[in-house]
Amino acid sequence: MKNFKNIEVFEQAYRRTATIVFAEIISVVVLLMLAWGIPLEERKAADAILNTLWGLVLMIAVTTIFLRRFLFSKRRIQEIKKNSVEAVVGALGTATIILAALAGSVAVLGFVITILSGDKMSILRSTAVSFLLFLIVFPRKSRWKGFIEV
């Protein structure tokens, strides 16, 4: 990443990706405040539906972690690097945005569970899982530079 054009492309793509991930994090916070502010009465949705939704939350969380391992593997990045540095930066940005969307979907499912069950703790649990996933998938500049320079 010695040439100025590559540095500029890298910085621009990183800023764009980080901004999108921050927007997704803010949307999760807004969803949490919305769910917490809605007056909910205790409802009894079918346990099978709620258990299925919690299972889906677990599957999305595990899938996000494994997908990150795959999408950021050195072998995959080296194959993409054969094309150009711009292709690597694009692939890193796209992968990060997809993973952040999966992390945000966990909070959306928690919102649905909260509405169905009337239990406000459900949104807190799912938001906590979502924030942990955001910590895992948030773009790290040093890691991105390592992929480009190696």
Residue 17 forms part of a structural domain: yes
Model confidence at 7, in pLDDT bands (50, 70, 90)? confident
Residue 61 placed within a domain: yes
C-beta separation of 134 from 26 below 8 A: no
Average of per-residue pLDDT across 27-41? 89
Report in angstroms the alpha-carbon separations of 29 from 25, 49, 80, 108, 140.
6, 25, 35, 11, 22
Q: Domain range spanning residue 125?
A: 4-36+47-149
Confidence of residue 141 (pLDDT cuts 50, 70, 90): confident
- Give a yes or no: residue 31 inside a domain: yes
Stretch 27-56: mean pLDDT, rounded?
88
- 145 lies in a domain? yes
Judge whether 108 lies within some domain: yes
Tell me how many domains the chain contains.
1
Beta strands in the chain (DSSP E): none
Report, as an integer, the average pLDDT of 15-23: 95
Those residues with Cβ within 8 angstroms of residue 57's Cβ, 6 or more apart along the chain or in another chain: 106, 109, 110, 113, 126, 129
Query: CA-CA distances (angstroms) from residue 138 to 18, 68, 101, 130, 132?
Result: 7, 11, 11, 12, 10
In a domain, 42, yes or no: no
Question: Residue 127 domain-assigned?
Answer: yes
Note the pLDDT tens digit of each residue in 51-104: 999 999 999 999 999 999 999 998 998 888 888 888 889 999 999 999 999 999
